[in-house]
Structures are given as C-alpha cells and as structure tokens.
Amino acid sequence: MGHACLVLALLSPGQGSQTPGMLTPWLEIPGIAELVDQFSDAAQIDLRAHGTSSDADTIKDTAIAQPLIVASSLIAAHVLSSRGVTPASIGATGGHSVGEFAAAALAGVFTAASAVALVGKRATAMARAAAAAPSGMSAVLGGDREAVLARLRELGLTPANMNGGGQIVAAGSLTALAELVANPPAKARVIPLAVAGAFHTSYMEQARDEFRAAAADWPVAPPRVPLLSNADGAVLHADTTGAQVLERLINQVASPVRWDLCQDALLATGVSGIVELLPGGVLTGLARRSLKGVPAVAIKSPDDIDKAVSLINEVASAEIGEAQ
C-alpha cells in the first residue's frame, strides 16, 4: 500500500536528557498535576517528586530516569493537544531509545499511561542487568566513521547508538572504555556518559528477556501515525501490527539504536519540521548536523509550546499551499 509523505516529525528524547526540576513549571498548567499523578501510579514511582525536587544523581538512576523522561514527553504532547496538535496533524513520531515508547504512545500503539507503566518494567529490568556486571557507555564525537568502528571492534566495544552527525556511542566493559579514552581514534573526542550500564548491547540480554516476559499480553494496537523504528529506521504504518511494534521495542533493549537511519528516513520522506518533546534539546542538536535546513523546536519548558505550535502551523500552511 502507498503511504503519504511525512511533513512534521514529533520526536521524544532518550535517557540522559533529564534535568532536575524539569516538571516544576508544567505543574502550574491546569490538569497536569493530575496527569503526573496518573503516570506515577502507572510507573509505581513518585514522578512528581523526581520531576521537581530530586537532584541530578537521583534522576540518573535508570529505574527513575526512563519513566520520568517518557512521562515528560507525554505531558508536553498533552499540552500540545490542548492547542490542537493531534495525531492527525502529525506526519510522524519517533523517539531515541526509551523515547520510542513515548512515540509509540503518540502513534496510538499504547495509551499514555500504559506506555509509562511498560517503561517502568523496562527500566527495572535494565537497572537489574546493569547491576549484574559493571559496564558503561561513552560518546565518540568526530573522527572517521570507519576508523571509529574499527577501534571499537579492537576493544570489544559495541556501537550501541549510531546517532549520525559524527556521533557514535560506544558501550561495553569499563576497562575497554577506559582504554578508549586513553587512546581514542584519530581526530575523535571521547566523553564518558553518566549511565549505569552498557545499554543496547549483549550486556542487556537478561533485561531483554525479563522485559519480554513482563510485556507478554500487553495491550497494543497498530500505529495510527507513522512511527520511526530505532532498529533500522523503518517507518511503521497501520499495516504493522501492535505486536510487531512491541517486539521491536523489546529487542531494542539489547540491540543498537540506529538514530542515523531514523534521520535518513525523515530526510528521504521530505520532513519539513521537527518538534522535540520535553526534555528537548538532544535530538534537535543532532538534527542540526544531519537534517540541515529543517526547522526544529525543542520543548524545554512551557514557554516553548507557542514556538512549537507556530512551527506546526507554518508547516501545515506550507503543505496546503503546495497542494493548491
């Protein structure tokens, strides 16, 4: 079956994008405190406390960070919906790593609360696997792509996130990561990341299997909005079953995130604008290098909602103009 061109992409960031107090200004918006409480019940953690008063070290904890980030993205999407931004007005959704669960909810695969509940189970499984064997992740910025990948193979490290724009995240043993810092690839910088383990690698196979068991019989539906897949950059449409989407999300736990391919897919389909949901910044930063010329808004506070709505309206007006 044929599929329409993607015009606007609504994107959700992944782990590491969280900042202390990021939910505080949102709680002043009518109805948001109740939504946060609903998500807290779903995830079985106090997202209100972690989004307002918990410090940076506390919210780095995988079991807290993942549901907090997904809930935050869905809160920003809820506020956008009150301004008329509905799934029907979105060209595509996508998310980086755990952000893909928020994107799947926006695409209609899960309800918002169901997505947060499922992410709570994912986060618990991944935190447990990370505690079982010391491991970590480091961003490799710049350098020749093939030379970087060759160096990672030498050290037994996995390119866990292929982010595009000259950024690859390496993951594996702490010893190998220390060697990467000591002797980086030519013309590359290595920045250790504050994460608990080697996510999206074989270190997470235990977590993937535990998560698969927890997600068995989880209620899902086919995507109503095109959904970018981290696995291979595929754009999943309504002819993809909810079970197929869920299987991709389960496998993602122990498989590399191919954000480079997601960005390639956006480029190939002629994306005209990007809105990155709370806590925005990381994906729009990558887009500036990989999707040059595509206007983008990162939502970091309620003040950014007006900018996002303006961009969405501009993109919609341009599309109507071209159609005429």
- CA 305/CA 88 separation, integer angstroms: 18
Supply the residues annotated as catalytic: 97, 200
Residues 6+ apart with CB under 8 A from 148: 140, 159, 168, 185, 188
Inter-residue contact 136 to 198 (CB < 8 Å) = yes
- CA 130/CA 135 separation, integer angstroms: 7
- CA 93/CA 254 separation, integer angstroms: 22
Phi then psi for 191, rounded to 5 degrees?
Answer: -120, 110
A 10 A CB-CB count for 223 gives 26
Residue 134, token pair as written in the block = 């010391």
> If we measure between CA atoms, which residue out of 288, 281, 290, 280 comes closest to residue 259?
290
Burial state string for 99-134 with b = 16 or more CB within 10 A and e = fewer than 16: bbbbbbbbbbbbebbbbbbbbbbbbbbbbebbeeee
- CA 162/CA 260 separation, integer angstroms: 6
SS3 236: strand
Contacts 24+ apart (CB under 8 A), 210-217: 210/125, 210/128, 210/129, 211/121, 211/122, 211/125, 211/126, 211/250, 211/253, 212/250, 214/118, 214/121, 214/122, 214/125, 215/118, 215/121, 215/246, 215/249, 215/250
